[in-house]
């Protein structure tokens, strides 16, 4: 059986080969490394897989990849260029502005043989994959074993078999199981997705069962657009794996010892996997070893001379893009910034955090609402998913926004759509920001137009042993008016979100859905042109309360999510009234933030109340839990506003001199665990944003 022989030969190889040949560490590849692995003896041949994932149309790196590929082919002519998806989509400007034709031209020039589908190959729907991307890749073949139906029916195969060095190599494609949460439902009608491990194992068994009638291969390679650590369950008939999706170098192995190699994004690294194959079909004996290889050194210097032919494709595309990309669309206020959320508040170089509110989200939601209304709709609210924002708006800080900078924010080419929700549905939608069990992120914060304000109780829920953050929305207002369950609102956004993407399934309950056909990037561009010196919101539209406790006459609770997470101005303090009780002016101490929402800026409130104030505070409270029913928070940014040049507390005499802070989690803490520590049971209602806090002209 293949399992027995595989394990036997892995054991023999481990004893016989050098550590360098079996290395599972990341290493920089140079031209003279290693012996030629292609030497064949008898019925034995070595085939090299040149593996890549998540290129995302970064054609500026294509020439370096081509040079690395040629060096690999020089060592072993039996080299196959295979990929694990996201080769196009969410691409660099020079490729994206040309509908990714430059990226497809580069990959064709490099003779990519096969690729799994990633999620971004479906950005414009399954039909676009079939009709545009697959033909655009020349002779390269897209494969996927766990996605079927709809526009894919009869158009894409689960696997392909390629001959190299006299051996038959089967490639089986796959993509992560929650794909449909990441792409527009409107473009995936009739498409179903199953567990990629189950699907790939089934085909690997079929290709290794000795039955020529259902296909046979000498070695099986899985190309899977999923994190390497999710693929260890692939079985003994899978000889090697190229993984992707999470944009990081990773190495692990299956239970039977097959190497799993995952490369970084944008063509910054690649994998080489040598398959030494003796015999054929069911009786083939396969020894697999591999390594990750870098395109750049730690200082960012290329380790290869760029291939002239492939690099010329980039240079032509870049020249064409520069002509368009340098067009100035608008300007932003000198004191404003429009950035995505960050894991580490105040650090622009830290990881993007989709679980917090951002000024860029508010801007794009305002632009979506404006664009819809410019095209004949009557939108009341704008909205955007955090994952739809792919770059900060003004990365060079010159306060001038070019076409390229705007396009980098919204590279997908989504249209602008509208749908009608009731007030009750709008509230339920906001509570879906705390994602269901099994979602890729525990929290996905929506960007909402600046005329929307809401507040929420933070608590946790345990599902199947996993503790998840949850939020209960209160005091929802639109244009300063309290939202009633029976009210109706027309909401503008991209079709991905408005048809239920990112687990915002409440949108599928909406009515009067209309796709305007107006591209969101065009809407943002027009909005910037129509609103010179654009000013960012200064305060957030949402605030969280948690951990409400009453001990005798002493009341304590935490107010959080009071600040944005990049280089926006930080508030100094808040004035707080809750449940009719004045808590005075409280300094915001903690800006450390949390890995998953609600962001930075929190204060723990503690006050000993008089009997009369305690009765007011607890009025209508449930017997087993104190709840904040109403609140008013004024966010203060200057010493003059706080009334205390020393920066201390300025509440009444029994306000605390110092206040404890929420525990800091740091970017490296597990998101769910951090949320479980921080988001304690509690409830609040709060009023925050005034009509002055909106994305409007500075003038």
pLDDT value for 42:
64
Q: Which residue has the higher pLDDT, 301 or 640?
A: 301
What's the pLDDT band for 490 if we cut at 50, 70, 90?
Answer: very high
Mean of pLDDT values over 29-51: 66
Predicted confidence (pLDDT) per residue in 636-656, tens digit: 998 888 876 543 443 333 333
H/E run at residue 516:
strand 511-519
Question: Do residues 307 and 67 lie in contact, with contact meaning Cβ atoms separated by under 8 Å?
Answer: yes
State the Cα–Cα distance between residues 20 and 686, nearest whole angstrom: 61
pLDDT exceeds cutoff 80 at 621: no
Residue 64: how many CB atoms within 10 A of its CB?
22
Predicted confidence (pLDDT) per residue in 203-257, tens digit: 999 999 999 999 999 999 999 999 999 999 999 999 999 999 988 899 999 999 9
State the Cα–Cα distance between residues 569 and 538, nearest whole angstrom: 7
> What is the set of domains in the chain, with CATH numbers?
44-317 (3.60.21.10), 329-450+482-530 (3.90.780.10), 542-642 (no CATH)
Predicted confidence (pLDDT) per residue in 334-364, tens digit: 999 999 999 888 888 888 899 999 999 999 9
State the Cα–Cα distance between residues 66 and 110, nearest whole angstrom: 6
Predicted confidence (pLDDT) per residue in 378-392, tens digit: 999 999 999 999 999
Mean of pLDDT values over 162-168: 97
pLDDT value for 681:
34
Question: Do residues 546 and 458 lie in contact, with contact meaning Cβ atoms separated by under 8 Å?
Answer: yes
State the Cα–Cα distance between residues 98 and 488, nearest whole angstrom: 40
Q: Which residues pair with 252 in a beta bridge?
A: 260
Mean of pLDDT values over 301-327: 96
Q: Flag whether the pTM goes above 0.75.
A: no
Predicted confidence (pLDDT) per residue in 54-90, tens digit: 999 999 999 999 999 999 999 999 999 999 999 999 8
pLDDT value for 481:
96
Predicted confidence (pLDDT) per residue in 248-289, tens digit: 899 999 999 999 999 999 999 999 999 999 999 999 999 999
Which residue in 605, 632, 636 sits closest to 688, CA to CA? 632
pLDDT value for 593:
64
């Amino acid at each position: 059986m293949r399992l027995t022989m595989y394990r036997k030969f892995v054991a023999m190889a481990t004893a016989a080969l050098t550590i360098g040949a079996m290395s599972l560490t990341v290493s920089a590849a140079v031209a003279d490394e290693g012996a030629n692995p292609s030497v064949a003896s008898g019925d034995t041949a070595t085939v090299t897989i040149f593996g890549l994932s998540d290129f995302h149309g970064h054609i500026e790196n294509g020439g370096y990849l081509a040079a690395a590929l040629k060096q690999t082919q020089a060592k072993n002519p039996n080299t196959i260029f295979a990929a694990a998806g996201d080769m196009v989509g969410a691409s660099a400007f020079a490729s994206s502005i040309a509908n990714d034709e430059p990226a497809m031209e580069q990959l064709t020039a490099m003779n990519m043989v096969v690729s799994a589908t990633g999620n971004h190959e479906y950005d414009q729907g399954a039909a676009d994959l079939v009709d545009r991307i697959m033909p655009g890749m020349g002779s390269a073949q897209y494969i996927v074993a766990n996605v079927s139906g709809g526009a894919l029916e009869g158009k894409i195969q689960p696997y392909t078999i390629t001959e190299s060095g006299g051996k038959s190599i089967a490639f089986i494609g796959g993509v992560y199981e929650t794909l449909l949460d990441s792409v527009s439902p409107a473009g995936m009608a009739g498409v179903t997705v199953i567990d990629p491990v189950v699907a790939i194992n089934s085909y690997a068994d079929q290709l290794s069962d000795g039955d020529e009638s259902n296909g046979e291969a000498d070695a099986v390679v899985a190309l899977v657009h999923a994190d390497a650590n999710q693929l260890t369950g692939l079985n003994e008939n899978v000889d090697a794996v190229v993984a992707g999706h999470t944009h990081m170098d990773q190495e692990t192995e299956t239970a039977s010892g097959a190497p799993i190699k995952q490369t970084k994004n944008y063509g910054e690294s690649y994998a080489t996997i040598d398959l030494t194959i003796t015999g054929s079909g069911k009786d083939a004996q396969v020894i697999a070893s591999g390594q990750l290889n870098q395109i750049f050194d730690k200082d960012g210097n290329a380790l290869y001379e760029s291939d002239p032919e492939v690099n010329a494709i980039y240079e032509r595309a870049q020249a064409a893009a520069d002509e368009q990309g340098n067009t100035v669309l608008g300007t932003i206020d000198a004191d404003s910034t429009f950035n995505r959320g960050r894991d580490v508040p105040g650090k622009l170089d830290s990881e993007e955090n989709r679980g917090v509110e951002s000024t860029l989200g508010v801007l794009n939601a305002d632009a979506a609402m404006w664009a819809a209304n410019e095209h004949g709709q009557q939108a009341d609210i704008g909205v955007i998913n955090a994952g739809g924002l792919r770059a900060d708006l003004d990365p060079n800080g010159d306060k001038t926004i070019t076409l390229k900078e705007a396009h980098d924010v919204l590279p997908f080419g989504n249209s602008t759509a509208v749908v009608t929700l009731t007030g009750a549905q709008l509230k339920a939608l906001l509570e879906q920001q705390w994602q269901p069990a099994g979602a890729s992120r525990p929290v996905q914060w929506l960007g909402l137009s600046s005329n929307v304000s809401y507040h929420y109780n933070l608590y946790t829920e345990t599902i199947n042993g996993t503790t998840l953050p949850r939020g209960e929305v209160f005091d929802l207002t639109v244009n300063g008016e309290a939202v009633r369950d029976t009210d109706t609102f027309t909401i503008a956004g991209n079709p991905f979100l408005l048809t239920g993407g990112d687990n915002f399934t409440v949108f599928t309950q909406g009515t009067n859905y209309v796709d305007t056909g107006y591209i969101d990037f065009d809407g943002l561009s027009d909005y910037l042109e129509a609103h010179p010196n654009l000013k960012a919101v200064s305060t957030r539209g949402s605030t969280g309360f948690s951990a409400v406790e009453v001990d005798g006459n002493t009341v304590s609770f935490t107010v959080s999510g009071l600040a944005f997470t990049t280089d926006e101005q930080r508030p100094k303090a808040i004035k707080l009234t809750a449940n009719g009780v004045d808590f005075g002016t409280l300094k915001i101490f903690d800006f450390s933030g949390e890995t998953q929402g609600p962001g930075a800026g929190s204060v723990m409130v503690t006050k000993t109340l008089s009997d009369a104030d305690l009765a007011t505070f607890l009025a209508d409270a449930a017997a087993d839990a104190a709840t904040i029913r109403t609140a008013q928070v004024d966010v203060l940014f200057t010493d003059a506003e706080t009334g205390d040049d020393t920066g201390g507390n300025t509440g009444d005499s029994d306000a605390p001199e110092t206040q404890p802070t929420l525990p800091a989690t740091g970017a490296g803490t597990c998101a769910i665990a951090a949320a479980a520590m921080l988001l304690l049971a509690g409830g609040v209602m709060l009023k925050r944003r005034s009509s002055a806090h909106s994305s409007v002209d500075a003038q």
